Structure 1
Amino acid sequence: MVRSQAAETFLVLLAIAANKGLSVPLDNHEAWGYVDVRDGAHMFWWLYYADSPSAHYQDLPLVMWLQGGPGGSGSGFGNFEEIGPLNRDLEPRKTSWVQAASVLFVDNPVGTGFSYTDRPDGFATDVATVASDMLVLLEHFFRTKADFQNIPFYIFSESYGGKMAAAISLELTKAIAQGTVKCNFAGVALGDSWISPLDSVMTWGPYLYTTSLLDDYGLADVNNAAGAVKQAVEAQQFSKATELWSVTETVVEQNTNGVNFYNILTQEPDEKLTLSEGEDYIALQVRRHVHRLQGRSLSELMNGPIRKKLVIIPQNVTWGGQAEEVFSNMAGDFMKPVVDVVDQLLNAGVNVTIYNGQLDLIVDTMGQEMWVKRLKWKGLPSFNQLRWTPLDDPASPGITGAFYKGYKNFAFYWILKAGHMIPSDQGPMALQMLKMITQQN
């Protein structure tokens, strides 16, 4: 089998790490490490330097990728399933984002992926702590990797990662103004993001009904369950709202015969999950939304060859071993919206991009558009007056792959034929979007 240069480099580095005990790979290919963001809280990061035949990494942007969950691992799922140089089988990915940018994967919140905490009270319980932890990591990263301080830096995210990205971006903007973090922050991109959870839940029924996945009875059932979530959110009972969100997902599955929340055109036999004996709804949601990011083959890869390559992973740390605790500790914050944070970013002049997959259910586009239309940003009326522009699918010239519109520092991409994980479903279109956002021709 003929291997790509990326695959050959990976194997060489793996051999070096395993045989010589090195914790840092060859310069200008990759780097990784841990940052102690709080006492007993250790956050793992993994950097791929841009690998472009036409440009040096210093002439290309730096992108930090934040996974969802909370509890999903960027170093694992985002890297090997979505945008990294190699796929889960260690074969080259043609649509890797590393060809257009240096990519920094961070396993956050603490306890996600290879990140870990030494004690039970070390987990984050809200996005404020998540943002605070990330600021510690970013200060360390840009101080020790000073060659990245002037390179345009973007935060890209997916799912719950978008909620964290919004909060992190706001704190980063403040830190840069105060001089505590030195970097060239160029913008944040929120992909299928959990910015306004209630808007997502309240549009599940209408979306499924218009796509022929619910009948009248099912629509009533889903709307009733969603209404209970709304009551809890409006009463500021956010832990209860998280449980009722789980109940609503069960109602959706029962009425659609197990629709896949991440792509409505797919259905898997194990999608119809029910409570096990002695299990609560939070544990059920961990199975639904965290375990799917830690499939058996990916776990074997991360806890096998990748662990050996990285060398620095403590012996008592298992990739994904604390993911359930990450999710359960964030349950009280899960259903809280951060629309006001997006407003603050826009008003501060930060470049904000929304992108969403047409076939996503859990964060459907209908719900995204609802909260966008409630923004208080003064540019919103002008944005709303614009018509969108069709974008050709790079893999199928002449066929529309997405729609786009933007005004000043706000943009929206509607990605067609994609579900929740856009880079996995529509890799070429996602790569083109990256280049457009980072202003590459």
Structure 2
Amino acid sequence: MEPAPRSCPWPRWLLLFPLLLGLSAGAVIDRPAVEGKEVWDYVTVRKDAHMFWWLYYTTNPCKNFSQLPLVMWLQGGPGGSSTGFGNFEEIGPLDSDLKPRGTTWLQAASLLFVDNPVGTGFSYVNASDAYAKDLATVASDMLVLLKAFFDCHKEFQTVPFYIFSESYGGKMAAGIGLELYKAVQQGTIKCNFSGVALGDSWISPVDSVLSWGPYLYSMSLLDDTGLAEVSTIAEKVLAAVNNKLYKEATQLWGEAEMVIEKNADGVNFYNILTKSTPNSAMESSLEFMPNHLARLSQRHVRRLHRDALSQLMNGPIRKKLGIIPKDFSWGAQSSYVFMNMEEDFMKPAISIVDELLEAGVNVTVYNGQLDLIVDTMGQEAWLRRLKWPELPKFNQLRWKALYSNPKSSETSAFVKSYKNLSFFWILGAGHMVPSDRGEMALKMMRLVTQQE
């Protein structure tokens, strides 16, 4: 099951291009030979733990990859696949019907999708004790991958490198970002680390839970009785977190969601203007998990692995990649990723964001207006608790309206920036901002990476 070790391999398509272009096999190509250049591979980050990455070089017609940033995209869950959902549902070159996406981020950056933690997407483990159980392991695994990547792809060592993320991916991005900053300072990883962007991120889970009731009440999705019930269970979550009973907090968090679904007629936690829909993908693995974890995994991880996407990834994409072990399926281990991170799930990461800001790392927070699971009120709450000395000056600023394109008069977002902290309020978007508001998400990325 373990792939054969490869040390800075030449992708098999790249070996063919010199022949197709009439070049000698030793010819040097200093930029992608054709639009859509891609490479992918596995990195064994620990014994029995294999992480998959997939790189797309930018398709910008006017600039080559050395003139534009490299963006790594991290999905949430934990257990959601970056190479699947982020790639084909949000920012990659093709949508899930394999048609060109008009708002792909490849217009303005090269994209690195990584399936993490191990066991996510095409990443896999050979032993049950090889799953990551905490943020520290997630970060150390990723640093092994990034060192291997930048050592192998030296052409990206001087390119500005940003980590963009979504949901639990935001918590991972913060932890990874801090460790990457330290590694760059120590000289153990050579890259031009330029910042993190935390999208609808699970930085302070309890602040999200505490704000669910007031947010839904303000949107006429809870009545007085419903608000009281949600507030009661939210206070139990808070007590568990304060007492560092994190497994209990995860279970209570799941109960809080059930209280909301009962009172708000099945409101969708990822976009409050829609209803939740059942998901039948890969149910069989759930029967071996504790009931509350099975339910939570079904709602928050399996929804990213819808039947059509699973068929795409395990069909034509698997065939295209050609290196996926024959006895392994995309997304098959995702529920176990979630289960193993149970105790870490409700732990806050506010202090990590503080350390990033203190170190001078650029930190961007962005959030969708219609997201419930990580609503904007909860994001603003933990932001107020930062100990960053410049926070009072940030808070005093007025926000600025943004428009998705110059011809539009419709407000698409608001932004506030001071020194190395920025916050984007993305209007009309739910939890998956690029999926809901592709133009504005692309504009935001360009702003964050200092292209506008």
- Normalised by the length of structure 1, the TM-score is 0.92
- 1:341 match: 352
Q: List runs of 5+ in structure 2 lacking aligned partners.
A: 1-11, 17-31, 280-285
- 2:234 match: 226
Q: Give distance in 2, aligned partners of 1:345 and 1:278.
A: 36
What is the letter of the counterpart of residue 238 of structure 1?
Y
- 2:41 match: 33
- 1:247 match: 255
Q: Give distance in 2, aligned partners of 1:410 and 1:184.
A: 19
Q: How many residues align?
A: 418
Alignment of 1:265-280 (within 5 A): 265-270=273-278, 280=291
- Is this contact kept in 2: 1:222–1:248, CA < 8 A? yes
Question: Cα distance, 1:395 vs. partner?
Answer: 8.3
- 1:116 match: 124
Q: 152-161 vs 387-396, which deviates more?
A: 387-396
Partner SS state of residue 188, structure 1: strand
Question: Cα distance, 1:288 vs. partner?
Answer: 0.2
- 1:199 match: 207
Question: Cα distance, 1:214 vs. partner?
Answer: 0.2
Question: Cα distance, 1:320 vs. partner?
Answer: 0.2
- Is this contact kept in 2: 1:70–1:161, CA < 8 A? yes
What is the letter of the counterpart of residue 240 of structure 1?
E
- 1:290 match: 301
- 1:421 match: 432
Partner SS state of residue 73, structure 2: strand
Q: Give distance in 2, aligned partners of 1:242 and 1:185.
A: 33
Q: Give distance in 2, aligned partners of 1:256 and 1:339.
A: 30
Q: List runs of 5+ in structure 1 lacking aligned partners.
A: 1-11, 17-25
Alignment match of 1:362 (pick from 352, 364, 373): 373
What is the letter of the counterpart of residue 307 of structure 2?
R
Does residue 431 of structure 1 match 2:442?
yes
Residue deviations 1:87-119 (CA, integer Å, cap 9, x gap):
000000000001110000000000000000000
Alignment match of 2:104 (pick from 90, 96, 102): 96
Question: Cα distance, 1:392 vs. partner?
Answer: 1.1
Partner SS state of residue 45, structure 1: strand
Question: Cα distance, 1:396 vs. partner?
Answer: 6.2
Q: Give distance in 2, aligned partners of 1:278 and 1:158.
A: 25
Question: Cα distance, 1:269 vs. partner?
Answer: 4.7
Alignment of 1:392-403 (within 5 A): 392-394=403-405, 397-403=408-414
Partner SS state of residue 71, structure 2: strand
Residue deviations 1:376-431 (CA, integer Å, cap 9, x gap):
00110000000000001328611100000100000000000000000000000000
Partner SS state of residue 86, structure 2: helix
- Is this contact kept in 1: 2:287–2:294, CA < 8 A? no
Alignment match of 1:263 (pick from 266, 271, 283): 271
Does residue 406 of structure 1 match 2:420?
no
Q: Give distance in 1, aligned partners of 2:423 and 2:261.
A: 29
**Cα root mean square deviation, aligned:** 1.9
Partner SS state of residue 231, structure 2: helix
Question: Cα distance, 1:134 vs. partner?
Answer: 0.1
- Is this contact kept in 1: 2:125–2:131, CA < 8 A? yes
